[in-house]
Amino acid sequence: MPELPEVETVIRGLRPRLDGQRLVEVTVRRAVLRKPVPENFARRLEGRRVRFITRRAKYGLVHMAGGLVLLFHLGMSGRLRLVPADKAFTPERHDHIVFVTEQGDRLAFNDARRFGLVDLVDEDDVASHPLLAGLGPEPLGNAFDGAHLGARLKNRRTPIKAALLDQRVVAGLGNIYASEALACAGISPRRGAHRVAPARTARLAEAVRQVLTRAIEAGGSSLRDHIQPDGALGYFQHQFRVYGRAGAPCLTPACGGTIVRIVQAGRASFYCPACQR
């Protein structure tokens, strides 16, 4: 499901209900997701207070009192469902972990495909965590611009679309927003990464920023899995220029092209052959 905007949206939905709350009960209903749930996961969290929640790439980081950090990733199908204290809670199929806060809210980590994961890490070790250490810069941060992108692309012979999905190049893009950013920048997903000229690298970096920023403003994209913790849907999917639009007309003014779907590195890419070169 989730790329950077969806994870950001989920975290923003959690904060009002979780910040400052003590976790009074944690239940692990399935012990193995993409990786095994850490030993003593529930015991290490129970009784501890949530200080604040941050995001790195597609990972959520729940900073707990005492310097412990709960790291989570939603994989393809993961969601977090927040059930307020005054509503009845029944565990659903694929609710793998359930958290209960001191004010009685229940938070279910639900993930049908189990590509998601959770881990516990000391806050001093977050940056060196194996899953986080190799990540490239945050696309919405200061370290990401055309110069950085150009430097990371110049030796890559893979298609630019595949390079954008490489989390070491830029952290947080996924299959939807890679296609969308290339459409905004007028670059074909098939172009070799090393053949994107410097001027266009800057334009691409700007397109990445813009697409992600707008998607966050829209609450992410709800296609099949993504919902906010309170059940609200994202609506950025209505602003897609190319994703899922094979056979439909290109939206670039006066272009007249037709969007096509191709497969690259096993993943669908969408683009307009007329205005993306």
Catalytic residues: 2-3, 58, 267
Residue 75 or 139 having the CB closest to DNA = 75
In the complex, the smallest distance separating the C-beta of residue 102 from DNA, rounded to whole angstroms, is: 31
In the complex, the smallest distance separating the C-beta of residue 226 from DNA, rounded to whole angstroms, is: 4
In the complex, the smallest distance separating the C-beta of residue 259 from DNA, rounded to whole angstroms, is: 13
Residue 100 or 272 having the CB closest to DNA = 272
Residue 142 or 155 having the CB closest to DNA = 155
What would you report as the CA-atom Rg of the chain, rounded to the nearest whole angstrom?
20
> To which H or E segment does residue 182 belong?
helix 175-185
State the Cα–Cα distance between residues 273 and 250, nearest whole angstrom.
Answer: 9
State the Cα–Cα distance between residues 182 and 201, nearest whole angstrom.
Answer: 11
Burial class (CB in 10 A: 0-12, 13-18, 19+), 233: middle
Alpha carbon distances (Å) from 155 to 58, 150, 162: 25, 9, 13
Alpha carbon distances (Å) from 67 to 15, 61, 71, 127: 18, 12, 13, 14
Tokens of 13: 């939905």
Q: Binding residues for DNA, per CB under 7 A?
A: 1-3, 6, 34, 57-58, 73, 75-77, 93-94, 112-115, 131, 155-159, 162, 165, 167, 174-176, 193, 220-226, 265-268
In the complex, the smallest distance separating the C-beta of residue 20 from DNA, rounded to whole angstroms, is: 29
Residue 101 or 264 having the CB closest to DNA = 264
